[in-house]
């Protein structure tokens, strides 16, 4: 696949209110520098689109797509967007007026107040094949797990999540007495996790399995788990949904445009997950929430079914169909 680099710049905002944002001089300096990178990206995008002469342009969202998307819109090239989250990101909002179609990751009623709702196509979010299709028995064998306790898979994305890791570490012995924990820590906290595992009482050591990155074992971790604990990013939710897992989600309060909070609100409204706000997160609260979930069999089944309903196994092909039809000038 041909690849060409295009410069772009990020507009940083952290939801701190008018005065909080106004007083952050360093952020303003970074935004000013990135505005110049964005201007450079527009010039590069013009040259690339002139040279490449595409039949259709597809933008996945995020600030890196904005220069090419803006130039495509001005040149009236067919433009297709994809929005993974329940809340439209800034770049996709800026490009929506010029788009022929906008594929979205959540059911259409999620976006009821969106100005261009007539352009939306519910496709869901594609999920990598490596995280699905593993049986529970195979997963337990792959991960060398030996326990009769409920299994909880905890992760905060590929880099881990400090607040979630801290909650696990603070009351690890209590958690390990009640659950078997598969814990993806990220590289920063793995040594601490290994140290705490080493210091657990002998009978608890087989109830805690820390990893920095699971990589090819993510599918096994999902399949083995009775409950998954993680963030509420679109990618994480999609992988939970693909595996039909009961989930306890902890939104990242610092996510851009508060998209993780919005995702979590939608999950709550649908009854697809339990939500634990990060300011309320600690080890004992985590134990309490997990214990309440695992002992409510009917609620667990409902969470699994409802979360699973958000997965569309044909998501990638339906997005591809949108792109092809737009390129052909067909009505979407």
Q: What is the arithmetic mean of pLDDT over 107-130?
A: 96
Q: What is the pLDDT of residue 11?
A: 73
pLDDT at 330 over 70: yes
What values do phi and psi take at 188, rounded to 5? -65, -35
Residue 9 has a pLDDT of: 73
With cut-offs at 50, 70 and 90, classify the pLDDT of residue 161: confident
Q: Tell me which of 33-37, 233-237, 277-281, 318-322 is least confident.
A: 33-37
Helix (H) or strand (E) holding 307, with range, is helix 297-308
Indicate whether 255 pLDDT > 80: no
Structure tokens at 203: 């009978």
Tell me what the mean pLDDT of segment 87-95 comes to.
Answer: 94
Per-residue pLDDT at 157: 61
User: What pLDDT is recorded for position 19?
Assistant: 59
Average pLDDT over residues 171-180: 97
Q: What is the mean pLDDT of residues 225-244?
A: 97
The DSSP 8-state label assigned to residue 204 in this structure reads G
Tell me if residue 194 falls in helix, strand or coil.
helix
Q: pLDDT value at position 63?
A: 87
Domains and CATH numbers, the chain: 17-124+313-327 (3.40.50.2000), 129-308 (3.40.50.2000)
pLDDT of 179 over the 70 cut: yes
> Which structure tokens are listed for 77?
């090239």
- What tokens does 324 get? 């092809």
pLDDT for res 62: 87
Average pLDDT over residues 160-174: 92
Distance, CA of 94 to CA of 109 (rounded, Å): 21
Q: What is the pLDDT of residue 20?
A: 61
Long-range contacts of 286-290 (CB under 8 A, 24+ apart): 286/167, 286/168, 286/171, 286/175, 286/229, 286/248, 287/171, 287/174, 287/175, 287/178, 289/248, 290/150, 290/152, 290/175, 290/178, 290/179, 290/227, 290/229, 290/248
């Amino acid at each position: 696949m041909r690849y060409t680099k295009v410069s772009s710049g990020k507009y940083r905002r952290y939801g701190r209110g008018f005065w909080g944002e106004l007083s952050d001089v360093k952020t303003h300096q970074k935004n000013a520098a990135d505005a110049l990178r964005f201007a450079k990206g527009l010039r590069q995008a013009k040259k690339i689109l002139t040279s490449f002469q595409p039949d259709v342009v597809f933008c996945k969202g995020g600030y890196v797509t904005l220069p090419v998307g803006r130039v495509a819109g001005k040149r009236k090239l067919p433009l297709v967007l994809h929005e993974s989250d329940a809340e439209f990101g800034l770049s996709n909002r800026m490009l929506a007026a010029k788009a022929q179609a906008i594929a979205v990751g959540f059911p259409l009623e999620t976006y009821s107040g969106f100005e261009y709702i007539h352009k939306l196509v519910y496709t869901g979010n594609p999920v990598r094949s490596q995280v699905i299709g593993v049986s529970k028995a195979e997963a337990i064998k792959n991960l060398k797990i030996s326990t009769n306790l409920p299994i909880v898979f905890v992760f905060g994305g590929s880099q881990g999540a400090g607040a979630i890791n801290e909650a696990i570490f603070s009351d690890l012995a209590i958690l390990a007495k009640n659950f078997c924990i598969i814990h993806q820590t990220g590289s920063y906290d793995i040594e601490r996790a290994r140290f705490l595992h080493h210091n657990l009482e002998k009978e608890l050591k087989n109830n805690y399995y820390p990893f920095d990155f699971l990589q090819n074992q993510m599918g096994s971790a999902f399949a083995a788990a009775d409950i998954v604990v993680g963030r509420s990013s679109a990618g994480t939710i999609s992988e939970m949904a693909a595996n039909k897992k009961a989930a306890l989600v902890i939104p990242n309060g610092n996510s851009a445009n508060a998209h993780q909070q919005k995702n979590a609100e939608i999950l709550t409204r649908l009854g697809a997950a339990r939500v634990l706000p990060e300011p309320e997160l600690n080890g004992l609260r985590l134990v309490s929430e997990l214990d309440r979930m695992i002992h409510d069999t009917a609620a667990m089944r409902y969470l699994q079914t409802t979360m699973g309903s958000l997965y569309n196994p044909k998501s990638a092909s339906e997005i591809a169909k949108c792109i092809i039809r737009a390129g052909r000038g067909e009505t979407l």
